[in-house]
Chains A and B, each alone.
Chain A
Amino acid sequence: MPHIFAALVNLNHPGHYVHWGFIQMSVANLLVIGLMLLVFVLALVLPFPHGRAAARERAARPEASAVDERPEAGTAP
């Protein structure tokens, strides 16, 4: 039963490191940086839910879009 909850990767050993000259970085940190880059790219290219639909709706109702698109409304950070 305990093996079901075990980590997918065996972490019970000293960390692995990569070296470029004087630069040394753990493989774990390198993986996290790679994951951050991947998420960053995905955030740029993946469509936002309802974003296109809302755009089509605003295009169909130009009088409403004049209000909805005002950028002076504060936004979530």
Chain B
Amino acid sequence: MTSTPPTTTRTEAVLATERPTWTGRFRSRAERSFPPEKLLPDRQPAYVSSWIYVFGALTLGAFGVVLLSGAVLAVEGPAWWHVSRVGLYVNSLHLWSTELFFFFMVIHLWGKFFMAAWRGRRRATWITGVLAFLMSIATAFTGYLSQQNFSSEWISTSAKDGINATGAGAFWNVLDFGQMLLWHVLLLPLVVGAVIAFHVLLVRRRGVVPPFAAASTVVSEPYETALLPSAAPAGPAHDDFGPEVPHNEEAP
């Protein structure tokens, strides 16, 4: 008997063995969706040269300070953050970074709303932003309940009637400090962090929405002319909200 020589190369054999696995499919899809030049870009569209495009990054910066200061508070505990000078400082840092987080996020929300940032197959980006906003409110609420002072006592006793009226009070007790603290320091930050990470990935994938003026009017600034409808690719890439940017042709 003679053995049959191999008809495939080693690479083909590896690919053939990887395709059926979920890890191989996941890797292939991740490489297609997020090539390095899109994941970590070194160029910006010209229309991003505006202050209104800064607030998303500012929100992320504030979120980082919130996480870091919150981690320090979690390590030391309430007996530290209510008494020591450093603890009071970190406690205030956590509060004011949260204030700035919402401050920047709301301005980011206004800017994206008036730009109709869901244009150009960016619906998922918009929806994850909304989810991040709503989950952040819940996280901040449990944070106010976890202060362990008269303020948190007042807020929790005021909120319990509203929560109970929704029926959620049966399993989500705002008067239970331990439950609220665990939601605040573990469950909700995980959800908010994951949603924000997914939101940023979608921004990387779809790009930042161009402003209406650049997409619909003739302007004198040369850096905006690339976004005129004539510069957009031919085909069905236009919807009721204006032309899409060329890189949005891929399916999600």
Chain A contact residues, CB within 8 Å of chain B: 32, 35-36, 39-40, 42-44, 46, 48, 50-51, 54-55, 58-59, 62, 65-66, 68-77
Contact B226 A77 (CB under 8 A): no
| Set B52, B56, B57, B99: member contacting A44, Cβ < 8 A | B52
- How far, in whole Å, are A76 and B43 apart by their CA atoms in the complex? 10
Number of A-B residue pairs having CB atoms within 8 Å of each other in the complex: 114
Given contacts A36-B103, A55-B221, A74-B39, 13 further A-B contacts (CB under 8 A): A40-B110, A44-B52, A46-B51, A58-B46, A59-B223, A69-B226, A70-B246, A72-B207, A73-B207, A74-B37, A75-B207, A75-B208, A77-B208
Q: Which residues of B contact A77 (CB under 8 A)?
A: 56-57, 60, 199-200, 203-204, 208
| Set B49, B54, B200, B246: member contacting A43, Cβ < 8 A | B54
Name the residue of chain A whose CB is nearest to the CB of B125: A77
Q: Tell me the residues in window 86-121 of chain B with beta carbons closer than 8 Å to chain A beta carbons.
A: 99, 103, 106-107, 110-111
Q: How large is the interface on B (under 10, 10 to 19, 20 to 34, 35 or more residues)?
A: 35 or more
Q: Which residues of A contact B111 (CB under 8 A)?
A: 40, 43
Q: Which residues of B contact A40 (CB under 8 A)?
A: 52, 107, 110-111
Name the residue of chain A whose CB is nearest to the CB of B52: A43
CB distance from A51 to the nearest CB of B (A): 3
Most A Cβ at <10 Å: residue of B51, B56, B110: B51
The verdict on B245 contacting chain A, using a C-beta distance below 8 Å, is yes
Contact A43 B203 (CB under 8 A): no
- How far, in whole Å, are A48 and B221 apart by their CA atoms in the complex? 14
